Amino acid sequence: MEYYITVEPGVRIYVNDINPQGDKPILFMHGWPANHHLFEYQYDELIQKGYRCIGMDVRGFGKSDKPVYGYDYDTSADDIRCVIETLKLCNLTLLGHSTAGAVAIRYMARHKGFGVSKLVLCAAAAPSLIERPDFPFGLKEDDVLQIIYNTYQDRPQMLADFGKMFFYQPITEAFSSWFLSLGLEAASWATAYVACAWLYETLFDDMKCVNVPTLIMHGIHDQVCKYPLGVAQHKGIKGSKFVTFEDSGHGLFYDEKDKFNCELMNFVG
């Protein structure tokens, strides 16, 4: 079932409730610059096993509305709260990839984990995507500024270049074109504004607020959210489980999709 959920006047979020009769709901939050179709190879398997898979396009991306504001982590977390309340979700597993992993952590802190019983972070952009004086593990600020600049100059080429560093395992030309198409569905301004948010958003304190069982999955070859970020998440979230993906980059849900799906189902139960 497909829904448009109004999160504030004039802004609707698209949600695809793929198996609404299923058990153990999982809300899949995609990272920049894609949409909920990013998890196609999770939906395919999990719905056959009876899970309720809910894909959400974050504002500015996919089929969701594309306002010119609201691309900070607080607003994104508030959008999640509206979706969870509207669908009356409870005992939910919240899964966030990349930037959405960071937003999921913000949600847990800002909304005290409302409706969420388990958290999954995969290649999450936390506690900081960029290097900082007390955190030397992320991307360089200049690299992010270059992404923003390239977005405004030639967004298709920027997205194509990003796709080349996303996966560690070889992908076909057809798959590469499909991945590019996901990014092209986003608004150009949303693509740039989310990248701007990386420059100032941090989750060091937010991680301390996570109080549900948490699974962290991270590829050692990740060139976007580097592997030490996953290590930092594991240290910062009490009682978390950390699973290393030896043959994955940023797209670990496809690089090692069988392992990813197995770890996810074992964790959700």
Catalytic residue numbers? 98, 222, 250
Of residues 187, 165, 219, the one with CA closest to residue 59: 187
Q: Which segments within 101-260 are labelled E, that is strand?
A: 116-122, 214-219, 241-245
| Beta carbons of 58 and 100 less than 8 angstroms apart | yes
- The CA distance from 15 to 105, in Å, is 20
Which residue is it, tokens 């995969």? 122
Phi-psi region of 131 (alpha: psi -120 to 50; beta: other; left: phi over 0): beta
- The CA distance from 174 to 152, in Å, is 26
Asked, as a colleague might, if the bond just before 33 is cis with ω within 30 of 0, I would say yes
